[in-house]
Amino acid sequence: MVQKLLVTKDAGRTRAIAVAPGVTVGGGAPVVIAGPCSVESREQILAAAEAVRAAGAHMLRGGAFKPRTSPYSFQGLGEEGLRLLAEARAATGLPVVTEIMDIADIALVASYADLLQVGSRNMHNFPLLQALGACGKPVLLKRGFAATLDEWLNAAEYVVVGGNEQVILCERGIRTFESYTRNTLDLGSAVAAKQLTHLPVIADPSHGCGRRELVAPLARASLAAGLDGVIIEVHPEPDQALSDGDQTLPTSEFAALMADLARLSSGG
């Protein structure tokens, strides 16, 4: 007998998830999460936070713990990065989204962040997903870069079965034969996830293509497809970024994109 997933209850009827006072994902206007890939310094994260807030973003993203392909790449500032994110939240009022990599860090990260992100590499980390089921904080679950739609939904099920129904799915691109883009943003599966579950679904066009000039068009396409929001990498000086600079928008381009997204959302 095939087990019916809890995440498929009320399929196609998205439940709103309150991430912080005044910020809800799903069932309403699209939400934009923006900020740098990594927290690099106090000056950098405060400048990014002020810029994305001024442009109209609803939440601030920034990595304090960074899983990197190379052990020699910048790995993040750790707890100092979390403290800087909290300072940026206090300065701007933007709720904070940051990645959780280890079960041992859940309490620490949850004490600073409003939304806990599970990155692509950890989508199959089932002990971590189970532990997040008991954390009491909303979880942003990114699709693994080689995961099928079914595997993605089952990963969400691990969190929900553990007692945490506050799961937001994030399509961030999958690895295909295409080499021009870093990944292939699979909007078809993202839309299917909205039809098959009651979970909000957002897209990450930055990781979805890995090319700065494609981020804005894919963000517009994501909202046009009916997704519940986007998460976009933004940096005051992306060419100087310590990670993911090639797919990161400068603050001026992000402001222009926000104006486009506002017109799209209003039907203008």
Quick: pLDDT tens for 41-98. Answer: 999 999 999 999 999 999 999 999 977 677 777 777 899 999 999 999 999 999 999 9
Please report, rounded to a whole number, the percentage of residues in the chain having pLDDT higher than 90: 90
> Which pair of tokens denotes residue 9?
């209850």
For the chain, the average pLDDT equals 94
Q: Which helix (H) or strand (E) holds 217?
A: helix 212-224
Judge whether 190 and 222 are in contact, CB under 8 Å.
yes
Contact 38, 249 (CB under 8 A): no
Q: Which two tokens stand for residue 49?
A: 């936070």
- pTM, two decimals, is 0.95
Q: Is residue 94 part of a domain?
A: yes
Query: What percentage of residues in the chain have a pLDDT greater than 70?
Result: 97
Whether 12 maps to a domain, the answer reads: no
Domain count, the chain: 1
Q: Which residues pair with 118 in a beta bridge?
A: 141
Max CA-CA distance within the chain? 56
List the domain range (segments joined by +) for residue 99. 30-66+73-266
* Structure token digits, residue 224: 């046009």
Per residue in 88-129, pLDDT tens?
Answer: 999 999 999 999 999 999 999 999 999 999 999 999 999 999
Question: Is residue 20 assigned to a domain?
Answer: no
- Give the DSSP per-residue string, 84-112: HHHHHHHHH---EEEE---GGGHHHHHHH
At 189-218, the pLDDT tens digits run 999 999 999 999 999 999 999 999 999 999
Q: Is 22 within a domain? A: no
b/e for 233-247, b at 16 or more Cβ within 10 A?
A: bbbbebeebbbbbeb
Torsion over CA: 182, 36, 100, 105 (sign): positive
Per the domain annotation, does 8 fall within a domain? Answer: no
4, part of any domain: no
- Indicate which CATH number applies to the domain containing 223: 3.20.20.70
In-domain check, residue 260:
yes
- Domain membership of residue 6 (yes or no) is no
In angstroms, rounded to a whole number, what is the distance separating the alpha carbons of residues 72 and 86? 27
- 174 phi-psi bin (left φ>0, alpha ψ -120 to 50, beta other): beta
